[in-house]
Amino acid sequence: MKPIYITDLDHTFLRSDQTISAFSQKVWNTKSQESILSVATARSYTKSLEFLTGLHLEAPLILLDGALVVSCDKKLIDLKLVDENLGNALIDEGSRFDIEPFVIGLKDLDLNEAFLYPGRLNTHQSKVLLNYKNDNRLAMRATMRTMKQTLKIVYFGDEHTLRPLAAHFKNIFGDQVELKLSPEKYNGGYFLTVLHPHGDKAHALETIADHLGRELRDFTVFGDSINDLGMFDKAGTAVAVKNALDEVKANADIVLPHTNDEDAVAKYLASL
């Protein structure tokens, strides 16, 4: 049977300028003739396709940290939504810390996406929005509320704000949500992602294994950040790039000698 390789995008397969090198594209497409390759990313379907043009994809895509699993031809395989009332309660609790989130969700089951942002932005949020100029998915909300089909809620800010916020959410909401607190490598600061309790990459990897009729031990996964750890725990082989967080490296079976800017994943695939 074909081996299966699933890679994170940002700071793992993508270079820091958010491009894929010609070398990585060539290795990927060559390897896809004898393997199954796909991605597991925090990005949406629309944004992921911008990067994946020209790459042969066979396995379903893990998107939005695992809240969404879709086939390459946009067929919905799995969807894990944050309960609307729970999400609104969470936003209300977050306002006590003088911060409002971004809310990412679906307008419909044709995977038309919406990206809601608050009217009052902090410095970190303003920097994030610079990457979404002229994006028709954006919509400002004077009062932040969740949607019927909310996939994730994301806070951007300083560590000293978001770490106690994460602890507060954990205390109030417990296992009703999945929380991911990580450094934000593009713009500095931190981000806190709130998901359905099964809306992470680990559960999405299980979904793909079932969909393909394969065992989790058949998967090799690549990553660099906190949201990859659950996937690392499930897969047969977990591979961290050189620039991965120390916690991620500590949980990897293999730590590569190259960074994402040095085509780490492609060089590993080419070496097999």
> Residue 196: its pLDDT value, please?
97
State pLDDT tens for residues 184-221. 988 889 999 999 999 999 999 999 999 999 999 999 99
Return the HEC string of the chain.
CCCEEEECHHHHHCCCCCCCCHHHHHHHHHHCCCCEEEEECCCCHHHHHHHHCCCCCCCCEEEHHHCEEECCCCCEEEECCECHHHHHHHHHHHHCCCCCCEEEEECCCCCCEEEEEECCCCHHHHHHHHHHCCCCCEEEECCCCCCCCEEEEEEEECHHHHHHHHHHHHHHHHHHCEEEEEECCCCCCEEEEEECCCCCHHHHHHHHHHHHCCCHHHEEEEECCHHHHHHHHHCCEEEECCCCCHHHHHCCCEECCCCHHHCHHHHHHHHC
Query: Average pLDDT for residues 37-62, to the nearest whole number?
Result: 91
> Residue 173: its pLDDT value, please?
97
Nearest-angstrom CA–CA distance, 76 and 248: 30
| pLDDT higher than threshold 90 for residue 51 | no
Query: Average pLDDT for residues 37-52, to the nearest whole number?
Result: 91
Mean pLDDT, the chain, as a whole number? 95
Say which amino acid occupies 53: T
| pLDDT higher than threshold 90 for residue 74 | no
